[in-house]
Amino acid sequence: MTSKTIMIDSEVYEELKLLKKNISFSQIIRELLASRNSPPSSIAGSLKDESDRLDYDEIKSMRKEKNVSF
């Protein structure tokens, strides 16, 4: 297999390093690229912390401010 050298920002490198654990950078990038084509259901339940969630009224208010209809 051939390889290519790419340049990324230091902060992106640090984020990738945190994600990769004991797999290669190539594998983590491959997984991230694959996940962008995943259906929304693939991230269901990812907001485990209540502080990460917005309630219905907050979302409705935000959409109204941006003139986005339901």
CA atoms within 13 A on the CB side of 5: 0
The pLDDT assigned to 20 comes to 81
62 residue type, one letter: M
**Whole-number pLDDT of residue 37:** 73
* 8 Rama class: left (phi>0) / alpha (psi -120 to 50) / beta: beta
Domain ranges of the chain: 9-39
pLDDT digits (tens, 9 = 90+) for 1-17: 798 999 999 988 988 88
